[in-house]
Amino acid sequence: MMRRSLIAFALSAACAAPVQAANLGDILNQLNNNPDLVNAIGGTVKNLTNANRTIGPQEEQEIGNGLASNMLGAAPLVNDSNLQRYVNDVGVWVASQSGATGINWRFGVIDTNTINSFAMPGGVVFITKGLLAQLHSEAELACVLGHESTHVLRHHHIRAIQSAAGKDALSNALQGVVAYKGNQQAQQIGANLASGFSEVYVRGLDKSDEFEADINGMVLCARAGYNPYALPAVLQTLDALNPQDSNLQMMFSTHPSPRARLDKIDQVVGDRLEPWASGTENTLRFGAATARYTTPAR
């Protein structure tokens, strides 16, 4: 009974838009009194909106898992275990070139024709089947995964969530995390909340974060033995697509245009990675794992 009323309170507060930071704090305090709902996330959410607070690796992973669970509710994994293991092999190889340890990397191809890729705090990276279909080589895949891994490594999403404009998104995210971590009843209510909380749980990043991800993604890609210019090659592919295509809508509205990203790479990287441009373009394993989904090599 207590639980139900708490959830009702959270629900009504979440529906009253915009959620103020003070209200969010109240919600979190109430939820923190109910161990069934918040046990697993513990004190994670309580002070999350404090921009000065350091979010630890374990907390990042809890948040990221909740977001990933929601994302997978919208678009499940492509049902192909060979493909999924393959992207993990490539992704972990590229991400590990950062030298960072202790990150629980999990890469997945999700079943949607929209063209995009995502990173979640703590080490989850998704690439859509639609973006995979635009790629021509393992180097291109590796560079895309290097871009997303950089968002994880540099904590871009956590920082965005902690910024003032991210607080509304956070309150919605928390509904999802709580529902995911809670019991069956909470999950059901979480499902009912879908139109409320799922609308605003991932935030577009600052342009500078996207540029940083492009440039460091190229560096990781080069370290992993690939031609790093495969990243601008992907951007050229995207740049050549019809921007009115609905499958591109969200990528183009949440990222700088491919052209602006190419201009930045031109300005910052230029020829500097030329010594590694002779790196690997493609592999047999790329063809074996992705032939069903991709365009022929060019």
Q: Give the residue, chosen from 19, 41, 108, 174, that forms a contact with other proteins under the rule CB under 8 A.
A: 108
Q: Residue 59 or residue 168: which is nearer to other proteins going by CB? A: 168
Note whether 118 and 280 are within 8 A (CB): no
* Chain residues 246-275 in contact with other proteins, contact rule CB under 8 A: 246-247, 249-260, 262, 264-274
* Chain residues 115-174 in contact with other proteins, contact rule CB under 8 A: 115-118, 124, 128, 138, 160, 163-166, 168-169
* Chain residues 193-212 in contact with other proteins, contact rule CB under 8 A: 194-195, 198-208, 211-212
Residue 291 binds other proteins (CB under 8 A): no
Note whether 217 and 150 are within 8 A (CB): yes
Q: Residue 11 or residue 77: which is nearer to other proteins going by CB? A: 77
Q: Give the residue, chosen from 20, 30, 88, 185, that forms a contact with other proteins under the rule CB under 8 A.
A: 88
- CB atoms under 10 Å from CB of 9, counted, come to 14
User: CA–CA distance from 263 to each of 222, 266, 267, 268 (Å)?
Assistant: 20, 5, 6, 9
Note whether 234 and 143 are within 8 A (CB): yes
Q: Give the residue, chosen from 25, 42, 73, 287, that forms a contact with other proteins under the rule CB under 8 A.
A: 73
Could you tell me which of 256, 43, 247, 63 has the C-alpha nearest to residue 152? Answer: 63
Interface with other proteins by CB under 8 A: which range of 20-28, 31-39, 53-61, 221-229?
221-229
Residue 17 binds other proteins (CB under 8 A): no
Q: Cα(32)–Cα(3) distance, rounded to whole angstroms?
A: 11
